[in-house]
Amino acid sequence: MDDSGYEIGFLLRRAHVRASAAFKAALAPLGIDARHFAVLHELVHAPHSQRRLVDLIGSDKSAMVRLVDDLERAGLVSRQVSVQDRRVQVITLTGKGTTTLQAAQESAADVTTVLTEHMPAADRQRLTDLLREFVAGPG
Amino acid sequence: MDDSGYEIGFLLRRAHVRASAAFKAALAPLGIDARHFAVLHELVHAPHSQRRLVDLIGSDKSAMVRLVDDLERAGLVSRQVSVQDRRVQVITLTGKGTTTLQAAQESAADVTTVLTEHMPAADRQRLTDLLREFVAGPG
DNA sequence: TATTGTTATACTCTATAACTATA
DNA sequence: TATAGTTATAGAGTATAACAATA
């Protein structure tokens, strides 16, 4: 009985569950979860509108409002009305946000090491590359 | 800026979101979702106790009660008290369950084809193998 | 009219603990 | 005492639609 035709679906679920539990535990001391981390990560190089963050992360706009609410309340980002388009809220990393992001990046890297330490380095790299290819889709 | 140290976490999330949305849509006409499919899939070769299903799938016992409730209500599995241990409910695929599972397997295989048709076949196979390795963990 | 962001709401899923019946 | 299953409940996350402000 060969189920390789659809096994990847089950495997992605198990892999995600395994990884997200580990990331959640690692980020908890910083007061954020993986979704907040994803937002902070997108803001490293430049501020973005909430709309742009939604597109980058693949969330939805009402969920993003609450994520940014959380981050703003924690002092990690700030909201500013755009001068060009006053409908737009520009989200910027604060100094504290930058510090927290760096700590989160270290924790996340440590977790990743633990999650993949049973795999040869080449396999780890190849898995990352193939996931990137899978996620890219037909586009 | 190199984020390869933790990028795999984000990628697994995006990959899982992409795949689960597709599986959900494909299985909806059969009246089940991916979790029900996983349960049916484990019952192909032999009946199992709910406890065993929990271990196989990585769910929890109260969630499993409801999954089996759903499947039993739809006539896809049956519950029978074990003769050896009357605490145990043995879950068995019905004829309708077998038919539905086969349809689900075909839908899932089709979805997988669509999800990976932008990838060379060798990459698809390698991704499956590497995910299996990742999921296995240090054990 | 269309878009950005906000709010409200309902729904699903998960997590937890208490409970039963057996062992 | 411990285990398999059940039930109840609370919480988190998602999805949806209606709304306000601006373009």
Residues A49-94 pLDDT 10s: 999 999 999 999 999 999 999 999 999 999 999 999 999 999 999 9
Q: Is residue B132 part of a domain?
A: no
Q: Is the CB of B127 under 7 A from strand D?
A: no
Residue A1 — pLDDT band, cuts 50, 70, 90?
A: very low
- What are the pLDDT digits (tens) for B59-104? 999 999 999 999 999 999 999 999 999 999 999 999 999 999 999 9
Tell me the sheet residues that pair with A80.
A90
Residue B3 — pLDDT band, cuts 50, 70, 90?
A: low
Question: Do B117 and A128 count as a contact with CB atoms less than 8 A apart?
Answer: no
Q: What's the one-letter identity of residue B42? A: E
Q: Is residue B138 part of a domain?
A: no
pTM equals 0.93
Q: Is residue B127 part of a domain?
A: no
Q: Give me A128's structure tokens.
A: 């990352």
Measure B94 CA to nearest chain A CA, in Å: 19
Q: Is residue A136 part of a domain?
A: no
Do residues A75 and A94 touch, judged by C-beta distance below 8 A?
yes
Q: Is the CB of B58 under 7 A from strand C?
A: no
Average pLDDT over every residue of B110-114: 96
| Domain carrying residue B102 | 13-118
pLDDT at B60: 95
Q: Is residue B136 part of a domain?
A: no
Q: Is residue B134 part of a domain?
A: no
Domain at B28, CATH number: 1.10.10.10
- Interface probe for A, chosen from B3, B6, B107 (most Cβ of A below 10 Å), is B6
* Percentage above 90 pLDDT, chain B: 94
Q: Give me A94's structure tokens.
A: 């604060």
What residues of chain A, 25 to 84, have a C-beta less than 8 Å from chain B?
34, 38, 41, 44-45, 58
pLDDT at A30: 96
pLDDT at A94: 98
| Cα gap B48→B2, rounded to integer Å | 46
HEC sequence for B58-78: CCCHHHHHHHHHHHHHCCCEE
Do residues A38 and A57 touch, judged by C-beta distance below 8 A?
yes
Least confident residue range of A3-12, A48-57, A129-138, B35-44: A3-12
Q: Give me A44's structure tokens.
A: 């490293």
Neighbours of B22 (CB within 10 A): 18
User: Does B2 have pLDDT greater than 80?
Assistant: no
Residue A139 — pLDDT band, cuts 50, 70, 90?
A: confident
Q: Is residue A69 part of a domain?
A: yes
| Cα gap A98→A92, rounded to integer Å | 10
End-to-end CA distance of chain B: 33
**What total of structural domains would you count in chain A?**
1
User: Does B35 have pLDDT greater than 70?
Assistant: yes
Residues of A in contact with B16 (CB under 8 A): 12-13, 15-16
Q: Is residue B129 part of a domain?
A: no
Average pLDDT over every residue of A93-109: 98
pLDDT at B1: 38
Q: Calculate the alpha carbon distances from A52 to A44, B102, B107 in Å.
A: 14, 42, 34
Q: How far is the CA of A84 from the C1' of C9 (A)?
A: 33
